[in-house]
Structures are given as structure tokens and as C-alpha cells.
Amino acid sequence: MDKALLQELDEKRKKGRAPGHVNTKKNAQSLHPDKLSARERINLLLDPGSFEELGVLARSQNKDLYDRSPADGLIAGCGKIDGRVVYVSSDDSTVLAGTRGRVGELKTQRLREMAEKHNKPYIALMEAGAGRFQEINGATAAGVGNRFREHFRLSGRVPMVAAFMGACFGGPSFTGQQSDFITIVDGTGFMGMSGPPVVKVGIGIDVTREEIGSGQLSAAVTGQADHLGSNEKESLLAIRTFLSYFPSSCFDLPPVHEPRPAPCDTPEGKEKINALVSENHRRGYNMEQLVRMLVDGGELFVYRPLYGRNLLTTLCRINGRSVGIVANNPMHLAGALNHEAAIKARKFIDLCDAYHIPMVFLCDCPGFLVGPDMEKNRMVSLASRMLNSVIATTVPKVTVVIRKAIGLAYIAMGGKTMNPDVIVGWPTSFFDAMGPAAGVELVHGRKIKEAADPEALRAELMQKVLEEGNGYLAAERALLDDIISPCETRNLIISVLERHPQPRQPGFKHRIDP
């Protein structure tokens, strides 16, 4: 082949890999020194030297934009994370202000097709605005939006990850929300229906990006981000860690790692876990500390740690196997379930079930919160959705009642009627249809009011209720499989995982809704 042809190819590839407006990156880095370029993000995310680029020669077909659109502002291809193939795209905000072009959309469409065909995870590193106006204005806009259907097709089939590295208002926010794991960078990542300029034009209100969809707002207030990275590196490493718990697709089983001892495996650890939870149900304790004592190496990957903090949802490993844990946290709202907890639990449970990850429920819950505020937040609907997700699970389930197991919340936390593979209680476990104080007042309120010593009678009736709800009575009635000591919990979970048959032919179960 003529050397001139090869030289021409080399020159075109160099142009395709060139950055856009260099000052754009310099301006961004002056405000945020840790900010990376689109290619630097890929290099940090993937195993060294594993990236294979797709569409490097792509450019905008608009004649006015052609020379200013290397790779059409989107770096795309496949690579490896921990030796496993993934497909990844990375927006280049230095190209035409990060707007999404028609050719770039064809590249992402190609990536999603390959992810579905080859059953591999799909990762989007996003710093893009809405569609490029010059290419989709007018009647052309009637044909946009294929990406949403493509994400829908991938949901529940391959793990999907979205990272909000910059301003991603409009379309990128929607596809991000269709993903299984969403990380947003504090200070530089933003999501929302529309950015400040569109809000100003649309409804005449001046707002900032922070007010619409900052990292803190998305992770702690709206719960639309599952992880908040302090910088881009932290978000990229979180993606690697998240995927380490999952199979490449629903047609595989989760990877099994070398088992490691847990803190509770030592004599000192056994004493510590046995002493951690007080028999006084009004005394709080750190549920995350308890869970860390049960899992391999004491390591957790917490899902939405800043949202719905009354419920802990976390990935971990037990005896080398991926496990999802849902646990009430008495340090927040006494561990009661509210709308935030129900929203978080529903997606986490769906996610674990879709990818064959066994689940452990640690129940210490005084019930669902009640009152006008909860009704305004659609608590009935959200609680029902959480119940449906628990009912639908087909993965191995272990339920451990630590202390309070009250009413509908107990059922939602993997109670007996949810058909767990094992359900046990600790010696501190207690069951009732509603909180004992509320039950006593509801049934005996008039009698207490008319008593010569109302407080003495109330205390007597409370004691009787507590005795009648004792976990040992539930075990005697075969409503629990056993009462165990706290230090026996890890071995019980391991026993269930070892004897539960793995699906011989794992496959698609259901999609995972935002």
C-alpha cells in the first residue's frame, strides 16, 4: 500500500484524538485542579493499555462544525476492568461546548448494541449538554431519542453505569437515571431537567446549577445519585469497585473472590458483636459497624449512603461471594422506614435480584413512619413497591431479626411471609403488629385514663405486651427457624449460601426502573 495513504490515515487519526478548544480545559482546571480530560478519565477507569477506540474518525457532518469536532466530541470503545470487558463512552466537553452531535449519538448507539450483543457492562462518563442545536433543530427533532429505548433494552441484562463529571442537563440526565449505578462528582457534576439558561427562558427564574442539581443535592436530598465522589478519581474508582460485585451480564453469575475472615471471626470480634446491641430497644447503635463485623475484611460498598440514612443498603462479600444487605439503622429515625428508605430499598433489591446477588435483611424496625407528611410523599404506593420487589426476589434470602420487627415494616424487611431461605432472631428480637406503646394506648387508653394510677397500669400493660412479643415465643410457634447469638450470624449466612443451588442457566429476570 502506498505510504502516502498510510500517512493520511495516521494524520486523520491524530486529528480525531486531538482535544477541542484547549482553553476550555484550562479554564475548567483553574477552578477544579483535579478535573481530567475525556481520555484521561478512560485511562484511569480501565486496566492499563486495554482501551480499543471505536469511531476515532467520526466528525460532525454540519459543514460549519466539521473542522471543530474531533471524534464528534465523544470518545468511545471497549476496554477491561479487572480483566473483564466493558464498553465505555466519555464526553469531551472541549468540543463544541460538550453538546451531543448526531454522529456522536450513532457511536453511543453502536456501543450499546455491542454491549447487548456481547453481554458486557456499559459505562457512560458524562459531561455533555443536550443535543447540538445546529443538528437537531426544526423538524429533525422528531427523530431523536433512540438512546432511551436502548437503555431500556439493556436494563436488567447488563450492568449500566453513569458518571456525572460535569454539567449534564437534559438528555444525559435522563439516560443517567436509567442506569444501575450513578456517581456524581462533588463541585463539578450536575444533573437536572434543564440548565439555568433554559429555566430562565422557560419560566423566567434565575437559578444556579447548584440549586438545580449539584452533587450534594443529588446524593443527599433527591437521592438521584447513588454515590458522591469528592473528585473525579474517586468516582472512577467507585465504578471499578461497584462492578467487581456484579457479573458481566444477567446470563452469568457474580464473580467469586478468595474468602477473607471477618472481624467477628476472632475471639475479640465475637465478644464485640455480642455486646454491640443493647436489649434496651430505645438505645441506638451503629448498624454499619455491625455489618462490617460480619463481612469479609470488614469492607462494604454502600449504595446511596447519604440518602435515606435510616436504612443501610450495601454490597459486600461473605465467604468470597457477593451479597446485598438491607439493614435498618437505629441511629437515624430509630430505623423506621420512610419514603426515602422505600425508594432506595426498592431499586437496590431489584438490582441484586436481577444479577443473582443473594440478600441479607437485618431487621430492627419500629415500623413505617406515619402522618400527613408521609401521605404527601405517597408512602402507601412506595411501601407497596418495596413489598413487590421483596416478594419478586428469587435469589437466596436470609432474614435476621435483631430487635424490633413491627407490622408491615417487618414484612418489607424480609419477614416470614416473604419466604426467606432462613429466618432467625437474636435473643433481643421482638414482634408486634404495631409499636407496643401505640398498641397499649389504642386498646387500653380509656382504662388507663380512668385508673387510680395511670402510669403504673400503663407500665404493667407495656410489660405484658413485651413479654407476648418475645422472639422465643415466635420460635416456639415455628414462626422463626431459630434464635441465635449475634456471633453465629455470619456462619448462618455462609451455610445458606453454600447449600442454596446456583441457577444452572442464569438469565434475564426483569429490568431495573429508576
The pLDDT value recorded for residue 142 is 45
pLDDT of residue 60: 62
Q: What are phi and psi for residue 55, nearest 5 degrees?
A: 75, 30
364 phi, psi to nearest 5 deg: -150, 75
CATH for 263-429+470-499?
Answer: 3.90.226.10
pLDDT in the model for residue 252: 96
Look at residue 32 in the predicted model and tell me its pLDDT.
66
- Taking the CA atoms of the chain, what radius of gyration do you get in angstroms? 26
Is it true that 3-244 and 263-429+470-499 share their CATH fold? Answer: yes
Alpha helices, DSSP H only, in 68-164? 102-118, 133-136, 146-154
119 burial level (CB within 10 Å; 0-12, 13-18, 19+): middle
Q: How many CB atoms lie within 10 A of CB 451?
A: 14
Q: Where are the beta strands (DSSP E) in 173-308?
A: 181-185, 190-192, 227-229, 301-302
CATH homologous superfamily, domain 3-244: 2-enoyl-CoA Hydratase; Chain A, domain 1 (3.90.226.10)
Q: What is the DSSP string of 238-259?
A: HHHHHHHTS-SSTTSPPP-PPP
pLDDT of residue 17: 77
C-alpha cell at 169: 442537563
The pLDDT score that the predictor gives to residue 30 is 47
pTM reported for the whole predicted model: 0.90
Domain ranges across the chain: 3-244, 263-429+470-499, 435-469
Q: What is the pLDDT along the chain (514 residues), one digit of tens a residue?
A: 777 777 776 777 777 777 766 555 555 554 567 789 999 999 999 999 999 999 776 666 666 665 666 777 789 999 999 999 999 999 988 876 667 777 778 888 899 999 999 999 999 999 986 666 566 655 454 445 567 788 789 999 999 999 999 998 888 888 899 999 999 999 999 999 888 888 888 898 999 999 999 999 999 999 999 999 999 999 999 999 999 999 999 999 999 999 999 999 999 999 999 999 998 888 999 999 999 999 999 999 999 999 999 999 999 999 999 999 999 999 999 999 999 999 999 999 999 999 999 999 999 999 998 899 999 999 999 999 999 999 999 999 999 999 999 999 999 999 999 999 999 999 999 998 666 666 656 666 677 776 777 777 676 666 676 667 789 999 999 999 999 999 999 999 999 999 987 777 899 999 999 8
Q: Is 137 exposed, middle or buried (0-12, 13-18, 19+ CB in 10 A)?
A: exposed
d(CA 247, CA 261): 23
Q: Which residues contact 359 (CB under 8 A, 6 or more apart)?
A: 323, 324, 325, 326, 349, 352, 353, 393, 395, 396, 397, 398, 414
First to last CA, the chain: 52
DSSP classification of residue 248: S
Report the DSSP pairing between strands 311-318 and 52-54: unpaired
Q: What is the pLDDT of residue 282?
A: 85
DSSP state of 169: E
